[in-house]
Structure formats: C-alpha cells, structure tokens
Amino acid sequence: MAYADPETIERVLRTQVWAVVGLTANPARPAYGVARFLQARGKTIVPVNPAGEAVHGEPGYRTLADIPFPVDVVDIFRRSDRAGAHVDEAIAIGATGVWLQLGVIDEAAAARARAAGLRVVMNRCPAIELPRLAA
C-alpha cells in the first residue's frame, strides 16, 4: 500500500501543530533542521525526546502523552524498529496524522494508524514536500 499519495501529503502538510519525535538541540541531527524549516513556515513544533529538552524556543516533552494540548501530526525521526511504538502513541493521543521520515518504514504501524483513521505519510520528508506544495 502506498503511504505517500499527493492528496494525503497535502492534507497533512496543511496541519498546524507538529510533534517531532526524536527532536533534540543537536544541530547535526536531521530532525533539528526539519523542525526549524517547519517552524519558519508557521508551523508550531513540539519537541519530543527522552530528556524533554526545549528546542528552537519551544518546550520539550518526554512522551507524546505528556503534551497538554492537541497535536495534529506526529513526525517520527526514529529508527524503523522503534517507529511503531510512537505511531501507537499518536493514535492514543488523538493525532490526525503521522509522518514517518525518509528511511523510516513500518508497514504494520502505518496500517494500524490508517485503520484508526489517521492520515499516514511514510518515507518522505516535509522539508522536501512542502516546497512542492507551494510550487
């Protein structure tokens, strides 16, 4: 099953609040640059990392369940073998979508999310897809 159809990508990219799982203050990590990109385009980013550290001026949280407000999409920067747990957390908190970054592939987790009514994008990067949408 395809998890990168243009309509789904566009609908997810139009959402406002992005919880970024794996985002830390390490500028060498891909999540750091992608989160800054999203923030620069008006998105609210929510760092989610084990330390709960703040990034890009936004308070961080240790888990998705710790976020005290609604999240539209959960953007997952974790290895494929760890992504499924975060997809399940995204379902549990009532997110409307999950975005598994380039190279993050978990077909079973994607199927669970879709079955729960979430929009699913997998093996794509919003920093690549958003400029296409604007074109």
Q: Tokens representing 117?
A: 């009514």
Q: By the 8 A CB rule, do 74 and 58 touch?
A: no
**What per-residue confidence (pLDDT) applies to 1?**
55
Q: Tokens representing 89?
A: 């957390």
Distance of alpha carbon 117 from alpha carbon 132, whole angstroms: 25
Per-domain boundaries in the chain: 6-134
**What per-residue confidence (pLDDT) applies to 123?**
96
Q: pLDDT: is 2 or 33 the higher one?
A: 33
Distance of alpha carbon 129 from alpha carbon 83, whole angstroms: 21
**How many CB atoms within 10 Å of residue 117?**
10
99-121 pLDDT tens trace? 999 999 999 999 999 999 999 99
17-67 pLDDT tens trace? 999 999 999 999 999 999 999 999 999 999 999 999 999 999 999 999 999
Q: 59-63, 79-83, 105-109, 131-135: which has the minimum mean pLDDT?
A: 131-135
Whether residue 68 has pLDDT greater than 90: yes
Q: What is the CATH number of domain 6-134?
A: 3.40.50.720
Mean per-residue pLDDT for 1-17?
Answer: 90
**What per-residue confidence (pLDDT) applies to 120?**
97
Secondary structure (DSSP) of the chain = --S--HHHHHHHHT-SEEEEET--S-TTSHHHHHHHHHHHTTPEEEEE-TT---BTTB--BSSGGG--S--SEEEE-S-HHHHHHHHHHHHHHT-SEEEEPTT---HHHHHHHHHTT-EEEES--HHHHHHHHH-
- Phi and psi at 3, nearest 5°, equal -120, 35
> For residue 135, what pLDDT band results from cuts at 50, 70 and 90?
low
Whether residue 2 has pLDDT greater than 80: no
